[in-house]
Amino acid sequence: MGSIPIVSTTVESTAVLLISCPDKPGIVAAVATWIASVGGNIVHAEQHTDVSDAMFFQRVEFTHASTTSLDTLTAGFQAVASNWSMTFTLTASPWRPRTAILCSKHLHCAADLLSRNTYGDLGLDIAAVVSNHNDAAPLAESFNIPFHHLPVANTSTGRQDQEDQLAALLQSLNVDLVVLARYMLVLPPALVKPWTGRMINIHHSFLPAFIGANPYRQAHDRGVKVIGATAHYVSNVLDEGPIIAQDVAHVSHRHDVAELTRTGRDLETVVLARAVRAHVENRVLTFGNRTIVFG
């Protein structure tokens, strides 16, 4: 009887490389050549050149032998990156970021994220649901997610105290991503800063229209025929961070504020989920106050 042949089955892993650098001839070739040199195979690649700013952006998804670690690849790519003045990240795919979800009294966005995650639609490792109210406690419990109630005490230092607790909690949770799923308290710059590019908010309007409070009331009073929702990275300035995703719905005079709010909820949940998914799939690059979201 013949011997069993030894089949060299290489186990493959997938990684995503995100690059930003000044535009120059030869970048694409340099990246592709490097990937080929480490035995990688490009599965998807997308580039964007911002002509007015002379900047180049690229997302490359490639497979590589699982025996080659991400650290090894990162170290290897460093030389290419230096040569082309690149900023880059190299992340395993799928990536399962440890995530905190913050909400207040409106629970549709938080419920939707928890629900999608159970279908494998998002791929989050949800570490906690955090809220200044306790309405979300049963929701978190039904999905077996730890719930943290951080109420604002009615004292002169109540707000500051709560912010300190929240900052400490987020640090101690050691999360990769913070999602503000209709968290209705404005966060101070010091709290936001450590999470730059890792904190996503849903604003219930088509920004930059209707910045600030009660956007559906504002939309009603202006008599618009379209409403929207905007998911964006949080920056120091309220509602001014880089926009990741937006969507809109047609409305009419028949929509009073309550009906606008109801229609808007569907937008908010879908837009926030879309932004979170793009972030988790490492499809978002920021440049100044804008994003490149690869398809």
Interface contacts to a second copy, rule CB under 8 A: 25-29, 32-33, 35-36, 40-52, 57, 107-108, 111-112, 115-116, 119, 121, 142-143, 206-210, 221-226, 228, 242-248, 250, 252-254, 256, 262, 265-266, 270, 273, 289-293, 295
Considering the complex, what minimum distance in angstroms separates the CB of residue 78 from a second copy? 19
What SS3 class is residue 191?
Answer: helix
Considering the complex, what minimum distance in angstroms separates the CB of residue 158 from a second copy? 28
Nearer to a second copy, 9 or 156 (CB): 9
Considering the complex, what minimum distance in angstroms separates the CB of residue 56 from a second copy? 9
Nearer to a second copy, 170 or 224 (CB): 224
Nearer to a second copy, 95 or 233 (CB): 233
161 annotated active-site: no
Residues paired with 55 in a beta bridge: 22, 50
Contact 183, 269 (CB under 8 A): no
Determine the Cα–Cα distance for residues 48 and 56; give it in Å rounded to an integer.
6
Determine the Cα–Cα distance for residues 226 and 33; give it in Å rounded to an integer.
47
**Given CA atoms 224, 229, 233, 234 in this order, what sign does their dihedral have?**
positive
Residue 153: burial class (beta carbons within 10 Å; 0-12, 13-18, 19+): exposed
Nearer to a second copy, 6 or 51 (CB): 51
For 291, the token pair is 């994003």
Contact 68, 36 (CB under 8 A): no
Catalytic choice (23, 135, 164, 239)? 239
For 194, the token pair is 């450590």
Considering the complex, what minimum distance in angstroms separates the CB of residue 46 from a second copy? 6
List residues with catalytic annotation: 239
